[in-house]
Amino acid sequence: MKTVNTFLKSITLFFANRVRHTHNIKYVLAIVALFLIQIIFINSCKADNRIANYTDYKVEGEIEHVCKLFSLDSVGIMIRYMSFMFDRPDYKNLTAYVIPNGNNNYTIFLKKDMDENIKTVITHEMIHVFQFYSMKLEWISFTEMKYNGKLINCQKVRYENRPWEREAFILTERINELACLK
């Protein structure tokens, strides 16, 4: 989708430059047509959630389930293995984390060969996706986050005391309880 959108934008820019130099009506019409194609193309992709899984974990079902529960529309989720571990004591037992990439695209990094229940881990990370999506949580850096507008230094607040983590653990537990009732 990004490639097509980038291509359409570059063609539109080309015709815009032609209009500036030649003032020819056919170039103006071409720009209008391309602009409409872009709008149609982007709107046709709005309802789809895209999942690109580059791991051996089968998590697509859990991702779609959480997207449906929280009405997450038009999100892109990429799942990758962690390529490095953080050299910080509070991340010693880290099994997963999520990073927002902009435009409702997120990358979830998972530890390879984890012992934890992958469904619980992915649900927890998808809660963070929802927090980012709803702008409740904002990524500042690896050491700072904003939660409900309040800047929080991750090095000063223990992992289990971070409000977004507490919320994610509570919601993950409730979602798992509901799944057991079915």
Query: 50-181 has which CATH code?
Result: 3.30.2010
Tens of pLDDT, residues 40-76:
544 444 446 789 999 999 999 999 999 999 989 889 9
Beta strands in the chain (DSSP E): 50-53, 76-81, 96-102, 105-110, 137-139, 144-147, 150-153
| Distance from C-alpha of 125 to C-alpha of 16, rounded to nearest angstrom | 43
Report domain extents, the chain: 2-44, 50-181
Mean pLDDT of the region 117-146: 94
Tell whether the torsion through CA atoms of 140, 97, 176 and 71 is positive or negative. positive
Confidence band of 33 (pLDDT split at 50, 70, 90) = low
Q: What pTM was estimated for this model as a whole? A: 0.71
**Dihedral over alpha carbons 14, 15, 20, 24 (to 10 degrees):** 150
| Distance from C-alpha of 78 to C-alpha of 71, rounded to nearest angstrom | 18
Indicate if the pLDDT at residue 126 is higher than 70: yes
